[in-house]
């Protein structure tokens, strides 16, 4: 990600990420939160590895990275993930697939990905998949212009 894109994203989400300083300690800045989250998303490194890059404790990273992802999603979803809601929008989506892919009556392309995780405590086999590892499932729906219109990550 180039610096301009990072700054644009920081301007959009920074207000929601900024926490208040206390008498006991300085809060982790919105910029540091975003950097740690983007590094995690780009590399897939563990929190233990990231703590050396960010100088933030692994346990703290485990709290702030999901929080930051949720903020990014909440702020950007209306602009960048517009799910068709009207009949006309669905017709336009289907026409896009018809002209681009020669697929009639297609409302979107859906795919999923198993995201490897460690076994959650007290979960039994709930997160164990057919590929023989623990995971959550990321599902995404895109339109004919390769734009995400819906994303769901299992809990």
Per-residue pLDDT at 155: 64
Q: Tell me, what DSSP letter sits at residue 37?
A: H
pLDDT digits (tens, 9 = 90+) for 130-152: 999 888 888 999 999 999 998 88
Place of tokens 């404790």: 57
Cβ atoms 107, 113 nearer than 8 A: no
Per-residue pLDDT at 9: 95
pLDDT under 50: residue ranges of the chain: none
Query: Where are the domains positioned within the chain?
Result: 3-79, 85-153
Q: Tell me, what DSSP letter sits at residue 82?
A: -
Per-residue pLDDT at 13: 94
Cβ atoms 54, 61 nearer than 8 A: yes
Per-residue pLDDT at 96: 95
pTM above 0.85, yes or no: no
């Amino acid at each position: 990600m180039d610096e301009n894109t990072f700054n644009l994203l920081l301007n959009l989400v920074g207000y929601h990420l900024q926490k208040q300083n206390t008498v006991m300690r300085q809060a982790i800045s919105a910029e540091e939160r975003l950097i740690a989250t983007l590094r995690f998303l780009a590399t897939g490194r563990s929190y233990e590895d990231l703590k050396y890059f960010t100088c933030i404790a692994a346990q703290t990273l485990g709290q702030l990275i999901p929080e930051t992802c949720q903020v990014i999603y909440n702020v950007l979803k209306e602009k960048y993930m517009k799910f068709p809601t009207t009949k006309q929008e669905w017709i336009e989506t289907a026409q896009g697939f018809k002209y681009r892919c020669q697929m009639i009556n297609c409302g979107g392309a859906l795919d999923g990905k198993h995201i490897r995780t460690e076994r959650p405590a007290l979960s039994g086999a709930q997160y164990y998949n057919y590929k023989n590892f623990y995971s959550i499932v990321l599902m995404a729906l895109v339109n004919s212009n390769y734009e995400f219109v819906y994303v769901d990550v299992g809990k």
